[in-house]
Amino acid sequence: MKRRLKEMSGRSVLLAFTSIAALSVLAIIVFIARDSLPFFEKNSLFTFFFSTAWFPTHSPPEFGAAAIFVGSLLVTFVAVLIAVPIGVFAALCLSDIISFQLRQIVKPIIEMLAAVPSVVYGFFALTVFAPWLQNLGKTFSWLSIDSGANALTASLVLSMMALPTIVSVSEDALQAVGREMREGSYALGATRAETLLFVVLPSASSGILSAILLGTMRALGETMVVWMASGNAAQIPSPWWDITQPVRTLTATIAGDMGEADQMTGSAHYHVLFAMGLCLLLFGFACSLIGERIVAAQKKRLRGE
C-alpha cells in the first residue's frame, strides 16, 4: 500500500510539473493572441501580409509587413544555410574522427558559445563584421556593399549562434547510432568515409533534423543581433536574394517599436506588434509539427515499416 502511494505521489508531482510547463506555453499563446486580435479585426490581412508600406506612425498608419517577413526569412535561411553543413560535419568530426580526449575538450568549448549573451554577438557584429564588410565593398566595388549593417552580417553572426545547438544535438544523435552499425559496415568492406556518409549519417538523420530545426528556431527568434546588425530597413532587397542590402526582421521590429507604441490607449501600432509575435509563434509551431512528421516517417523507414 505504501509503495503504491509513493508511486502515485511521484506520478502526481511529475504530472504537476509537466502541466505547469504546458499551461505556461498556453498562457503565452492566449496572451499574444488576445492582444493581436484587435489588429486583425480592424485591418486588412492582405495589406499586412502583401504590402511593403510600413508607416505605423503616419496618419492614417500603414501596416504593410511583407518586407519585414521577407527580411526575417532571408536572414534565417542564409544563417541556416551556413550553420547546417558546418555544424553537422563538426558533429561528425567530434563523434567519429578526433580522439575521445580531444573531444572532451572541444565539445564543452563549442557549447560555451551558447552561453554568450546575444548583445555581445550583436556588438561583435557591429564592430567587427560590419566594418570588415564595408571595407571589402570599398576594395571590390563590384560587390556593391554600401553598408556593413546588412542581411549578410546578421546571417553570419546568427549562424555562429545556431552552431552550438546544431553541433551538440547532432553529435548526441551520431553517438546514439552505436558501434554495432559502424563495425557491421566495416565488416562488409566499407571504408571509413563510406561508413560515415552512408551508414552513420542516415541512421542519425532524425536526430540531425531535430538539431537543424532547433538551430532554425534559434536564428528565427533572435532579437539583439538582427536589431543591431541587419540595418533595420523595411525593404525587400532588389533583387530579393541580394543579402548585402539592409533588411528588417520581425523580432527587431517588435523590440524596436514596442517602446514607441501607445500601450495605454491600445493603438493599432501596439496590436500589430503582437500580431507579428503571433505569426512567429505559428511559424515555429508549424516547423515543429513538420519536423515531427518527418522524423516519424524517417524512423518508420529505418525500421523497414
Confidence of residue 202 (pLDDT cuts 50, 70, 90): confident
In the predicted model, is pLDDT for residue 73 greater than 60?
yes
CA-to-CA distance for 190 and 197, rounded, in angstroms?
11
pLDDT at 265: 55
**φ and ψ at 245, to 5 degrees?**
-100, 150
pLDDT at site 270:
86
Average pLDDT over residues 92-104: 86
pLDDT confidence band for 262 (50 / 70 / 90) = low
Instruction: Render pLDDT for 118-138 as a digit per residue (tens, 0 to 9).
Output: 888 888 888 888 888 888 877
Check whether 259 has a pLDDT greater than 80. no
d(CA 64, CA 72): 15
Give residue-wise pLDDT tens across range 47-68.
888 988 888 878 788 888 899 9
Give, for 189, the enclosing helix (H) or strand (E). Answer: none
- List C-alpha distances in Å: 48 to 44, 55, 56, 71, 272: 6, 12, 11, 15, 9
Cα(101)–Cα(30) distance, integer angstroms: 48
Alpha-carbon distance values, 15 to 4, 6, 7, 12, 156 (Å): 16, 14, 12, 5, 41
Report how far residue 52's alpha carbon sits from residue 66's, in angstroms, rounded to the nearest whole number.
5
> Distance (Å, rounded) from C-alpha 261 to C-alpha 272?
10
Residues sharing a CB contact under 8 Å with residue 18, sequence separation 6 or more, in sequence order: none
pLDDT in tens, 271-293: 889 999 999 988 888 888 887 78
Beta bridge partners of 54: 63
- CB 247, CB 75: distance < 8 Å: yes
What SS3 string covers 252-305? HHHHHHCCCCCCCCCCHHHHHHHHHHHHHHHHHHHHHHHHHHHHHHHHHHHHCC
Report the C-alpha gap between 31 and 176 in whole angstroms.
Answer: 39
Give the number of other Cβ atoms within 10 Å of residue 275's Cβ. Answer: 23
pLDDT band at 155 (very low <50, low <70, confident <90, very high): very high
**Is 117 in a helix, a strand, or coil?**
coil
Q: What is residue 231's three-state secondary structure?
A: strand
Mean pLDDT of the region 145-170: 88
The predicted pLDDT at position 167 comes to: 92
Q: 171 is written with which cell numbers?
A: 553529435
C-alpha cell at 230: 541587419
Helix (H, G, I), strand (E, B) or coil at 118: helix
Cell of 82: 551556413
The pLDDT of residue 78 is above 90: yes
pTM: 0.86
Cα atoms in the 13 Å half-sphere on the side-chain side of 193: 0
Distance, CA of 222 to CA of 219 (rounded, Å): 5
Cβ contact 150:137 at 8 Å: no
